[in-house]
Chains A and B, each alone.
Chain A
Amino acid sequence: MFLQSIDILDVDLCVQLPDKFVARTRASADLKEIMPYLNGMFRTSVYNHGDGSIKFTNDRVEYTIINDQVNIAKFANRTELHELLDWLRDLINDTYESRAEMTPLYARRKPVPVFFIYSLLPGTNCQMCGEKTCMAFAARLNKLEADIDACPPLSGQEYDASRRKLEGAFA
């Protein structure tokens, strides 16, 4: 098995979200080799091949990996942290096993400009996404902290073209 374990070093409160936690953990192997494959897998990823680091978001939880260090942010409690570590370990091991059939992505994804995103949103400030304005939601999308699915009006037929453009930009 490529990765035996990911051990928790410490857990602290999340500064951004007071009802969530952050954790520093250490993997039993250097994960540099696997990063280009993770980069190809997550459209939210920010990968730096030179530094050997990658950051991505999955299901609202943020992962930052630097060599064997894995930082996880915005989880609800320690039980969820263990679940996430199990998931990540299995994902990394499955990826390692299947890497011959996968295409690594070495390029760094460019952030999608905030105003470009904003121009494709409904602009109604309906707040259904949880943000006060469409501009605030665009800023969160730009930082990969939100998903376009969080905007229900975008699923409507009248925004079909905008949605497809946004999906293309984040693909």
Chain B
Amino acid sequence: MERPTPLYLDNGATSYPKPDAVYDSMVSYMRGNGASPGRGNYARAMEADRLVYETRKAIAELLGVPRPGQVIFTCNATESINMALKGYLRQGDRVLTTGYEHNAVMRPLKKLEARRQVQVERIPCTAEGALDMTAAKAKLREGVRLLAVSHASNVIGCVTPLDEAVAAAHECGAAVLVDAAQTAGVCPIDVTAVPVDMLAFTGHKGLLGPTGTGGLYLRKGFELSTLKEGGTGGMSLSPFPPDDPPDRYEAGTMNISGIAGLHASVRYLLDIGVDAVRAHEAELTGLLLDGFESIPRLTYYGPRSAGRIGLVSFNIEGHDPHKVSMRLDRDYGIMVRSGLHCAPEAHRLLGTAPTGAVRASVGYFNQPSDIARLVGALGEIASRPPD
């Protein structure tokens, strides 16, 4: 039997395809330069240095960061979140978070609960991801030192009202860490307008860059203890890391080929505009929700509103989500992700743990015809007995 044309709808895990300029930029750096930035004094090392700086600058422009040096490169959002939580939280600190956090937040917090007796509390929220801000404010007033929130849930698709959360936290003297893994590049973000203290992002999802890239924005003057120590290319006589960001947090040679790709992808996003991406994905998400509502016995999760991001988790009554995903791939060539999506808390909230759900997630390069194809395939699967 002929394999159907592949259709990628797992952009919530990692975006595919990337803009052509991303592949070109990576190959161009690897073949034509290949030098280590921040270390040598030869012209090519200086060029590599400039490439890294221009990437910081592009990201700063995209996220409203005042100075490029406030963008610290990491290998993904998980590393950024670990850097933020472990670098900021001290013995016995209280942390407030949501009930739909990814394991990138929950697992480091679990470790800090054991190692530093950090107390973790959650903001009550509905199955559609609406946070009880009255309860949140009451908890914040009880001496919380950090509010750690996802900008958007990778399961429910809801978007956290950051302006309200940040204002409430700062009023009570708590710092704010935002996990923007699902929103950087697909939702407008301005860390100057909404003054978060730390914002973690990854390069390979909405930013359309390669895997192994990511970063942490740090508000000016906001200092963390370091997650790792090592060579930074300067002040080598000192046994300690330098005081100033970004070098303080970037020990070791960076993923320059990845950063070269990220430079091209962020430039691409700046050219087309995040608003255009958001509008396109909102249109596709609307089609997805309309289509899902037409399928008997299919339940999708999260709000029916334009405010959600471009991913929708769902289940078909009587069907195992893993088998639905496998059938979509095998019989229709459609790639979606099933399971718990590394966010068991969110699935507990939805009542879908431990098996989870199927998640379709759109990207900038998907078209309405892709959504029609997925909806048609799911309609057929739902009308037949389970595997």
Contact = CB atoms under 8 A, between A and B. Distances in A.
A90 B126 CA distance: 50
A159 to B, nearest CB: 28
A8 B244 contact: no
Interface of B: 37-38, 41, 46, 49-50, 52-53, 56-57, 67-69, 232-235, 237-238, 242-244, 246-247
17 contacts: A8-B50, A11-B41, A13-B234, A19-B238, A19-B242, A21-B234, A76-B243, A77-B232, A77-B234, A77-B244, A78-B38, A78-B53, A80-B244, A82-B49, A82-B50, A83-B68, A83-B69
A8 B47 CA distance: 9
Contacts of B247: 76-77, 79
Nearest to A82: B53
A10 interface: yes
Contacts of A82: 49-50, 53, 57, 68
A18 B67 CA distance: 24
Given A13-B234, A77-B234, A78-B38, A8 B242 contact: no
Contacts of A80: 69, 244
Interface residues of A, number: 17
Given A12-B41, A83-B68, A86-B57, 12 more contacts: A8-B50, A18-B237, A19-B242, A21-B234, A76-B243, A78-B37, A78-B49, A78-B53, A79-B52, A79-B53, A79-B69, A82-B57
Contacts of B68: 79, 82-83
Contacts of B232: 77
A76 B244 contact: yes
Given A8-B49, A19-B242, A79 B56 contact: yes
Contact of A19 (B50, B243, B246): B243
Chain B residues touching A, majority SS: loop
B250 to A, nearest CB: 9
Interface string A71-101: 0000011111011001000000000000000
A134 to B, nearest CB: 27
A83 B67 contact: yes
Listed residue (B38, B49, B57, B234) with the most chain A CB atoms within 10 angstroms of its CB: B234
A12 B52 CA distance: 19
B46 A8 contact: yes
B208 to A, nearest CB: 24
Contacts of A79: 52-53, 56, 68-69, 246-247
Contacts of B235: 13, 18-19
- Among B38, B41, B52, B233, find the residue whose CB has the most chain A CB atoms closer than 10 A: B41
Q: Which of B50, B56, B232, B238 has the most CB atoms of chain A within a 10 A radius of its CB?
A: B50
B39 to A, nearest CB: 9
A77 B242 contact: yes
Interface in A44-82: 76-80, 82
The 10 A-B residue pairs with the shortest CB-CB distance, nearest first, are A76-B244, A82-B53, A79-B69, A10-B41, A77-B247, A8-B46, A78-B38, A78-B49, A79-B246, A80-B69
A76 to B, nearest CB: 4
A12 B41 CA distance: 9
B234 to A, nearest CB: 6
Interface in A82-122: 82-83, 86
Given A10-B41, A11-B41, A76 B50 contact: no
A79 B49 CA distance: 8
A24 to B, nearest CB: 10
A77 B50 CA distance: 13
B221 to A, nearest CB: 14
B242 to A, nearest CB: 7
A76 B242 contact: yes
A67 B232 CA distance: 33
Contacts of B244: 76-77, 80
Contacts of A21: 234
Nearest to B247: A77
A91 B67 CA distance: 16
